[in-house]
């Protein structure tokens, strides 16, 4: 019905409203381009009009000076805008929140002022560029309002199809993981910097396409069009429609472009009415007028089995040395230990959190680190998993020096972890949370996701079925489409553990897994961890305060106090160690 309405609209309307509908399509395209950056990835961008301007001016300059056809310039405008986005955002992509927002405002203003200053005599200064040609396909020229209407909406339909497919792919999920929790995303094997840049580049490329269409319709471009207010309007489109929602962005664009025209009869007050409507919408619908509904289509088991046979997950690291060989190929001391730290030291200013720690984790064993609060246990985990870079010392995993590796690289080698304070992706479903652990085992990228190649379809089926398996294994069957934030605390703990296990780790690092659990849940956890060792080629390193759990499942226990190792040995030896008792309880004067 919607498609029929759009097809019939220009035949029952005048040229004025057809042009309004054309600009509706342009702003829908711009809204969708910003939605990739702001809605999907959660990056504040208030300078998006700069990329819109790049697309428009590339089209204007190359068409007027060199006569290159407008249609040929669509991909070139996208490439130039995307390349410009890569150049200007690479140095600032590590910024977050307000800081990134302020810098993007600066980028937008720099581009606008550069256009005004007419560099190399190319931009025409404040007056802009005139005489831009019209798009044509052979003898069929796009030269009327009706033809431009169909032109923009056909391009928009193609873009929407591609974005829907991206949303439902490894790429779209990676963006959403970044938006929810960057640290948890990177510990799941996602290269945060890479996917942030990818979102900016793709968003800018779509804005460049919109710039091409705009320039060919008006046949003139000027700096006055690409102001901070324009970027603010695009920001409103995404926020008003709903973050991450494709139909929401289109609805937001319709409200931004159509409603002011409806109120044109009261021109002096229309922006007042429009502003008031925006305020009311954000008060009563803070998630947007059309928020995204999260759900995963569960394939049948047969197709998943077929996928598992045909998909070859990305190799972890074919060049790494094995656990039984050192760099020079000779037998080493690492053959009995999957993880070794050598004189590991971590400082925060003048505070020494970890000092000269020598730690070994045996293959197929459960090693526990105990100690009072503030002993430096979690800091050890953060250093091993790449969140912190140690001041000195070395970390070896399967005989390979991984000191200073980024968290996503550590995860890809086969180390997975949970956190003391649960770090899930609260706005995503349970099955999407677990699929984060599968990210680095998958290989589909932008082209294969948009084109829905056979390998990508099979890979998605395999990933969903694997996630469903771990949901069932963790006792969360039937909760696949439930948002993680709606689960009770105990089930959230299990979901985080299932996410870590889905990555098929060689070393599982657990930070206080029993905290917040009752006695029955703790006992079930003990049984679950013991069974894991029997079923998987797995080693476990955990921090725990529950001595019953530690003594019940550990093969080796390391005690820490004030950042240093004070004792290590078998559980029964540590249980009665006088230094350990003193660290926990103190000593008499």
| pLDDT at position 313 over 50 | no
Residue 298's pLDDT is 59
* pLDDT averaged over every residue in the chain: 89
Residue 334's pLDDT is 53
- Give the angle 150-154-157 at the CA atoms, nearest 5°: 140
Question: Percent of the chain at pLDDT above 70?
Answer: 92
Mean pLDDT along residues 161-179 = 96
Do 28 and 97 lie in a common domain?
yes
Do 269 and 358 lie in a common domain?
no
- Quick one: how far is CA 124 from the chain centroid? 40
Do 31 and 169 lie in a common domain?
yes
**Measured between alpha carbons, how far is 538 from 226 in angstroms, rounded to an integer?**
56
Tell me the per-residue pLDDT of 196-252, one tens digit each, with 9 for 90 and over: 999 999 999 999 999 999 999 999 999 999 999 999 999 999 999 999 999 999 999
Strand order in the sheet with 539-543: 415-417, 507-511, 539-543, 366-370, 556-561, 564-569
Task: Assess if residue 548 is contained within a domain.
Answer: yes
| pLDDT at position 462 over 80 | yes
Task: Assess if residue 296 is contained within a domain.
Answer: no
Query: Of 284, 315, 342, which closes a domain?
Result: 284
Do 262 and 369 lie in a common domain?
no
Least confident of 123-137, 177-191, 305-319, 364-378: 305-319
Name which of 304, 301, 302 is nearest 461 in CA terms. 304
Q: Contact at 8 Å (CB) between 173 and 41? A: no
**Which DSSP category does 37 fall into?**
I
Which structure tokens are listed for 244?
Answer: 């991450």
**Which DSSP category does 88 fall into?**
H
Q: Contact at 8 Å (CB) between 474 and 498? A: yes
Task: Assess if residue 314 is contained within a domain.
Answer: no
Q: Look at 68 and 317; give whichever has higher pLDDT.
A: 68
Side-chain-side CA neighbours of residue 493 (13 Å): 18
Do 280 and 338 lie in a common domain?
no
Residue 102: strand pairing partners: none
Residue-range definition of the domain harbouring residue 438: 333-585
CATH number for position 65? 1.10.3470
Tell me the per-residue pLDDT of 330-377, one tens digit each, with 9 for 90 and over: 435 556 789 999 999 999 988 999 999 999 999 999 999 999 988 999
Mean pLDDT along residues 300-318 = 40
Residue 583's pLDDT is 80
Helix, strand, coil content of the chain in percent (nearest 5):
60, 10, 30
Biggest CA–CA distance in the chain, Å, is 98
Do 275 and 354 lie in a common domain?
no
3-state secondary structure 1-13: CHHHHHHHHHHHC
Band of pLDDT at residue 518, cut at 50, 70 and 90? confident
The predicted model scores a pTM of: 0.90
């Amino acid at each position: 019905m919607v498609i029929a309405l759009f097809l019939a609209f220009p035949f029952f309307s005048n040229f004025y409203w057809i042009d309004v509908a054309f600009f509706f399509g342009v702003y829908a395209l711009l809204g969708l381009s910003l939605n990739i950056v702001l809605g999907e990835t959660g990056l504040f961008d208030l300078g998006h009009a700069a990329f819109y301007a790049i697309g428009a001016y590339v089209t204007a300059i190359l068409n007027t000076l060199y006569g290159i056809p407008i249609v040929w310039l669509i991909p070139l405008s996208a490439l130039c805008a995307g390349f410009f986005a890569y150049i200007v955002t690479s140095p600032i992509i590590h910024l977050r929140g307000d800081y990134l927002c302020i810098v993007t405002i600066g980028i937008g203003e720099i581009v606008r002022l550069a256009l005004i200053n007419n560099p190399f005599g190319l931009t025409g200064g404040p007056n802009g560029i005139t005489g831009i040609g019209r798009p044509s396909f052979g003898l069929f020229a796009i030269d009327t309002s009706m033809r431009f209407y169909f032109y923009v909406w056909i391009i928009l339909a193609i873009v929407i199809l591609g974005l829907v497919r991206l949303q439902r792919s490894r790429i779209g999920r990676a963006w959403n993981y970044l938006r929810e929790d960057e640290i948890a995303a990177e510990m799941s094997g996602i290269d945060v910097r890479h996917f942030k840049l990818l979102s900016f580049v793709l968003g800018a490329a779509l804005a460049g396409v919109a710039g091409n269409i705009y320039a060919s319709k008006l046949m003139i471009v000027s700096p006055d069009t690409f102001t901070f207010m324009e970027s603010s309007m695009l920001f409103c489109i995404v926020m008003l429609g709903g973050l991450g929602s494709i139909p929401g962005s289109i609805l937001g664009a319709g409200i931004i472009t159509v409603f002011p025209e409806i109120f044109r009869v009261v021109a002096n007050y229309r922006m007042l009415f429009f502003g008031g409507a925006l305020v009311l919408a954000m008060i009563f619908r803070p998630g947007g007028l059309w928020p995204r509904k999260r759900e995963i289509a569960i394939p049948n088991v047969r197709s998943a089995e077929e996928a598992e046979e045909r998909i070859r997950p990305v190799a972890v690291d074919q060049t790494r040395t094995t656990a039984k060989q050192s760099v020079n190929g000779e037998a080493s001391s690492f053959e009995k230990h999957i993880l070794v730290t050598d004189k590991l030291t971590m400082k925060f200013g003048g505070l020494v959190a970890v000092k000269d720690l020598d730690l070994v984790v045996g293959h197929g064993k459960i090693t526990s680190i105990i100690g009072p609060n503030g002993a430096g246990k979690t800091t050890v985990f953060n250093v091993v998993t790449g969140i912190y870079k140690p001041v000195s010392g070395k970390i070896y995993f399967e005989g390979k020096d991984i000191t200073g590796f980024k968290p996503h690289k550590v995860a890809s080698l086969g180390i997975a972890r949970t956190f003391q304070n649960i770090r899930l992706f609260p706005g995503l479903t349970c099955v999407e949370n677990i699929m984060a652990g599968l990210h680095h085992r998958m290989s589909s990228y932008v082209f294969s996701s948009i084109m829905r190649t056979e390998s990508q379809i099979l890979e998605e089926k395999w990933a969903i079925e694997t996630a469903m398996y771990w949901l069932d294994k963790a006792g969360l069957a039937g909760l696949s489409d439930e948002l993680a934030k709606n689960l009770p605390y105990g089930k959230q703990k299990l979901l985080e553990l299932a996410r870590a296990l889905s990555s098929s780790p060689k070393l599982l690092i657990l930070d206080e897994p029993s905290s917040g659990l009752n006695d029955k849940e703790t006992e079930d956890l003990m049984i679950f961890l013991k069974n894991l060792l029997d079923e998987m080629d797995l080693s476990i390193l955990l921090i725990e305060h529950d001595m019953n759990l530690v003594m019940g499942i550990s093969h080796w226990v390391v005690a820490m106090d004030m950042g240093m190792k004070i004792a290590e040995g078998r559980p029964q030896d540590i249980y009665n160690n006088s230094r350990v008792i003193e660290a926990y309880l103190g000593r008499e004067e």
